[in-house]
Every structure is written in structure tokens, then in C-alpha cells.
Chains A and B, each alone.
Chain A
Amino acid sequence: MKRADRAAVWFVLPSLFLVALFSIYPICASVRLGFYRTILMLPWLGEKFVGLENYADLATDAVALQSLGVTLLFVGASATMEVLVGAGMALLLNESFRGRGLVRAAVLVPWAIPTVVSSQMWRYIFNDRYGLFNFLVFGRDTSRYIAPLAEPWLARAAIIFADVWKTSSFAALIVLAGLQTIPDELYEAAEVDGAGAWQKLRRITLPLLKPALLLALLFRTIDAFKVFDLVFVMTQGGPADATNVLQFYGYKKIFAEGMIGYGSAIAVGVFLISLALALLYIRLIGARVLEPGAAR
């Protein structure tokens, strides 16, 4: 046992090193920066330790709070829809039909396109003069064309839609993996007992799929919290700050305004929220995973 343990340490070490280098170090550095007031454009102010001042400012910053609201809306709407759409796709892909391999590959295409590229595509689609969106809705009557990205609620819907389009297939992958772990015997037994398709779905598939669905939701929620590129390319946070998500706000603070300390505090805030979510989900999933086999 001891030798095996030692070997295990060596196997884990490289990935631990990478995690430390690319996750833990930047997190610690951000936390440290968040306690300082550093403004690039005003070098004479120096790097002043201000304790929790940045966080106190953050708590009363109306823009940050509004931005948190926008982010939560985006996360809630996009993650929910992605898991639902993804589950539907997975159920479909799990059936056997001709050309299934091709469809499975095709479904992954949106996910394989870099977000910056697909965001650019959506920006064109939603353009008010030559966008496909207007053509589909209004046809050739150009006088009725609207600018979805100029309307706060439509712009929000547009970035959510673009995200759902892109990452539903990722959710589908996870759910599909979950589906494939459900043994066929269960369905056979159910059929023997006279269960219909709906009953099989409700009584077997969905309960056994819960861990996979939660896992998909976890990944999508945390990932959605970090949304940046969609907003950067499609709206730059506008119109009227309607799509100013937290990560973009933090980016503006650091890279445009040079407010390193304050921007880092925002980043740390996003990190803490994601961490809390992750812990919550892990507890939920842990409990669910144990449930079926819990034969005390």
C-alpha cells in the first residue's frame, strides 16, 4: 500500500504543479491585488494597502450591483436552457438511427467553434441593416428592420441565445455519457412489467440521470459566470450597460481604466461566487450519487 501511495503521488504531481501554476498562483495574486489601491495611470499614488476598502466600495457600487444582476440573469437563463436543450439532444442522440455518428459529430460543431468567432457571427446576424435575423423576421421590407443589439432586453436575449446555441452540445455530451451508464436490463425489466415510453423516461431515465444533469448544470453555471468573450465581441457591455456582466466590468476596470486593485476585487468576487456554487453542487451531487445504492 505504501509503495502504491508513493507512486500515486508521482502521478498526481505534474497536474498539481500545473494547477498551482495556472490556478492557485493567479488566484492568490488577485486576492493580494484586491487589498491594494493601484492605478496605472497615476503611478505617483503608488501601491497603497487599503485593506477591505475595494470590497466596501464594491458593495455600494451601483454599477457593480446592476452588473451582478445582469450576470445572474445570464447564468440562470443560459445554464437552465442549455441543460434542457442538451438533455433533449442527448435523448435523441442516444437512440439508434441511421447516420447517428454523423449527427453526434455535427451537434458538437458549435461547441468546437471558438467563442470569439461565433460571437462575431451572431453580431453580424443581429446587425440592423444586413443581418439574417431581420431578413428572417421582416423579409425584404428593410424599413422595418430593427437593431436587436441596441435594445437592452433584446441584447440580453441575444447573448443568452448565442450562448445556448454554442454550449448546449457540451451539456448534451455530459448527459449522453450519463445515459449510457444506465443498464439496458432496467428498461427490459420495465417492458416486461408493461411500462410505456413515458413511464420509462420518468421512472428510470430521469432519476438515474440526475447526477449527470446536475453535473452539466454545475459546469454550465460556473462557466456562464465567467462569460466575457460574448459580451466583448457582441455588445461591449451596452446598450445602457444592459449586458455589462461582472467579468467584463472587471476587465474594463483593469485594462481600460487601469484600476488594478478594484478590478481584482471584482475578479475575486466572481471567484468566490463560483466557488460557493461549486461547493453547493458538489454536496448535492454527492448526496444524489449515493442515493440509489444506499442499502443500509
Chain B
Amino acid sequence: MKPWPALLLLPLLVSPLHAADIRFVTWRDTQGYLEPLIADFEAHNPDLKIVRDVGPHSSTEFHDLLAQKFRNRDREMDVFFMDVIWPAEFASAGWALPLDRFFPREAQKKFLPATIRANTYAGAIYGVPLFVDAGLLYYRKDLLQKYKLSPPRTWPELVEQAKTIVAGEKHAGLTGFSGQFKQYEGLVCNMMEYILSNNGDLWDETRLSGALRFPAAQEAARFVRDRIIGEIAHRGVLAYQEPESLALFSEGRAVFHRNWPYAWAEANDAHKSKIAGQVGMTTLPAFPGGSSAAALGGWQLGISRYSRRPELAWHFVEFMTRAETQRRIALQTGRGMAREAVYRDPEVLEKYPQFRMQLAVSMRAVPRPTTPVYVPLSNIMQRYFSTAISARDSDIDRLARHADREMDRVLDLLRPRAAR
């Protein structure tokens, strides 16, 4: 069904005296694109008012906030941002509204395929993709040029280059690398990029069993512990999420930096960054014998099953994810968008030539496995990674075996379903 017939009913639903509120659970908009968009939407729809409910930056905390609202069957939430890993869970728990009647297959084809896959659970679609993220390596062009180095292709090469540059520069605050190593969801993304680029895996989806104990995964964790934390990155990164790690890079205090596409515009913004114009961007390194792996991230808009006005909510979601809006956000922020057309838009490409490469990375980015028990699995992995990399003498083999056993127990919960 198309959205239009439903929209014709709008005047009947909304009394002219009462503007209807649409509650939108979102994060703090540091890039300033949300406010004008919402103002625009309200200008075109005088009967609707978007009430923003601002949640925490950390995806983990944002998830817990949403889960709490769903558990309380909160009718004061209509539209919400959804991390790429949540649709399966929210669908399985019956919290997210299936959107097939609004968002048919034809319309889905305009989006990057991986984002649609991430929003599909048991054949139905639960979110409309807006942002696409894929892990990228940022570097200081000026410093690499000064030392006649080309961007590293392997992780050991990155470590060597970082050491050379930090030793050569007489700048006391300079470190080699900054990434996200706090115990939170971002840690799983970072670590998965090391493990997958060493031909390892987080877990085996067909055999429903953890894969952290295998040599490839263990080697990668050991590399991060011994060669990165406290070596080329200062130990503070163990408490870093994206904003802190980017701030360090933008202050000119890190040679290399792992982040999502949004960091490009931020690091090149002369108002916020001391290194504007000196930033390079490339695919993440791999281990010798492996190939570069970028974690797929991104944010979608979903509609709550408990929303009192799903049609109106859809009206807003459609506006927020339509081609023109995504183009506008891309132009303003340089963030990776979910609609493929954005990457072919001449104006966008002129302002952000890196979008060509970003499309290639986003097309190949690896999603974290889609499962309703993602959160418990992620908590086990976060615990394991954090413990494994924070202490020099951590017993990675024992910790990894233990984490695998715990993952197996969670994955076992899915078995009866599979057998049925």
C-alpha cells in the first residue's frame, strides 16, 4: 500500500485547534542539521509539532533508554533513532512497528542493500535507513608527507609509522593513534575490524557458536593489547568513545585515527579543528594475509508499536529519509547517507570528493550479525575485549574461551526456534 491514501485522512485526524505532537527520541545534534529540518517539516505541516526527546550519545545507553520506554509501553514515543544492530531485537520483542505498508520493496531498492538487510527481520522491514557508517582510517597528510610515508596497508605498518612520526616530532602531546576502546558498543566495532581483517570472526552464525577463542581472533586482540594500547595510543583511549577520540585527533594530537565518515567534515572544520586541510582518509589496514574490514554502522528511523499515531509518525519518517533530505544532510555534514543516489549527486561529489571512495567502503562494510539476542552477545564481547586489552598481563586465551562459552549459552536460546 502506498502512503498517500493514509495521508488524505490527515485533516480528519488532526483537529485544527490542536497541533498533534510527534515525539521523536533522538540524540543531541552536534552538527546542527536536525533543527532546520524539523523547522522545515513543521512549516510544511502546521498541524504537526515534533517534540524532541534527547537521549545519551552512547549507543549502549541509548538502547537501554529505548528498551525501558518499550517495556513501559510508553505512548509518548512515536519515532526513534535505531542503531543498525537493533531492528532484529526490536522486531522480535514486538516493539518496532513493521513498516511494509508504508515502505514497500520498490522504495527499499533506492537504499544501500546492506542497510535494508539490517532492517529486515523475518521477512518484514522495521526501519528506514538514514545514516550509513563504515569504519575508516584518518591520518595526518602533512606528517605522513614529511616522513615520506604512504598510508599504511597493514596494522603492523601503521604501528611502525606512528612510532617513527611520534619519535621524530618533538611534540610532547602527540600520540600515534586514537580509536574507541571504552567498554561500550563502539569497542565491538573497533575490535571486529581487527579480528575480521585477520580472517577471524566474532561468532559462527550457522553453528551458533562463539569464535573468539580461535587463533585469528586471539592474535588480533593480543595485537591491540600489546602494540596499540599504551604503545601508540595512550591508555586514555580505554575510556574513549567517538567524540573524545576525534577531539584528540582534531587537536593535532594523534597521527592516525579510526572513526566513521562524519569525522571527515569535523576534522576539516577550521572552527573545531586545528588540522583542517591536513586530514587524509583511507580504508582501514588489515593484517598481513587478511583484507581490510570496515564495521557497518548507521542509524535508522523506526516507529514504536505503542505509538498512538503511526500514520503521522510515518509522515515524519518519510520526510526525514526522502532523497532531498538525505542530500541536504550530506551537503551540510558530509556524513554517509543510506540512499545510493546521494553518492552520485554532482553537488555532493563536488563538495565531498571522498564520497566516491566512501560508497565503495560502505558497499563492502560488514554488518554485525542480525539476531534478536545481539545485546547479550555484545555485552559478553564488550566485557571480553575490555578485559583483554586493558591489562598487559591479561590471559587472553582463557578469557576468550570463557567468552565463547558464554556466547554459546546465549546462542543456544535460538536453537529451539531453529529446530521447530
Contact = CB atoms under 8 A, between A and B. Distances in A.
Contacts of B60: 236, 256
Interface string A222-251: 000000000000001111110000000000
Given A236-B184, A238-B182, A258-B67, A146 B373 contact: no
B364 interface: no
- Chain A interface mostly: loop
The residue among A41, A43, A145 with the most chain B CB atoms within 10 A of its own CB is A41
Given A143-B173, A150-B235, A240 B390 contact: yes
Interface in B111-159: none
Given A256-B379, A257-B376, A43 B94 contact: yes
A258 B391 contact: no
B9 interface: no
Interface string B380-399: 00010011001100000000
B320 to A, nearest CB: 26
Contacts, number: 101
B402 interface: yes
A141 B391 CA distance: 26
A63 B382 CA distance: 13
Interface in A164-214: none
A83 interface: no
Given A42-B372, A129-B244, A237-B183, A256 B92 contact: no
A110 interface: no
A259 interface: yes
Contacts of B71: 40, 255
Nearest to B65: A255
B93 A255 contact: no
B212 to A, nearest CB: 15
A142 B236 CA distance: 12
Contacts of B373: 41-42
Contacts of A42: 92, 372-373, 413-414, 417
A238 B384 CA distance: 11
B325 interface: no
A87 B413 CA distance: 52
Nearest to B385: A240
B49 interface: no
The residue among B183, B383, B387, B417 with the most chain A CB atoms within 10 A of its own CB is B183
20 contacts: A41-B373, A42-B373, A42-B413, A42-B417, A128-B244, A129-B244, A143-B173, A146-B236, A150-B235, A150-B238, A152-B390, A240-B183, A240-B387, A241-B183, A252-B379, A255-B64, A256-B63, A256-B67, A258-B67, A258-B93
Interface of A: 39-45, 62-63, 128-129, 141-143, 145-147, 149-152, 236-241, 252, 255-259
| Pairs A-B, 9 closest by C-beta atoms | A238-B183, A150-B239, A147-B236, A150-B238, A143-B172, A240-B387, A240-B390, A257-B376, A128-B236
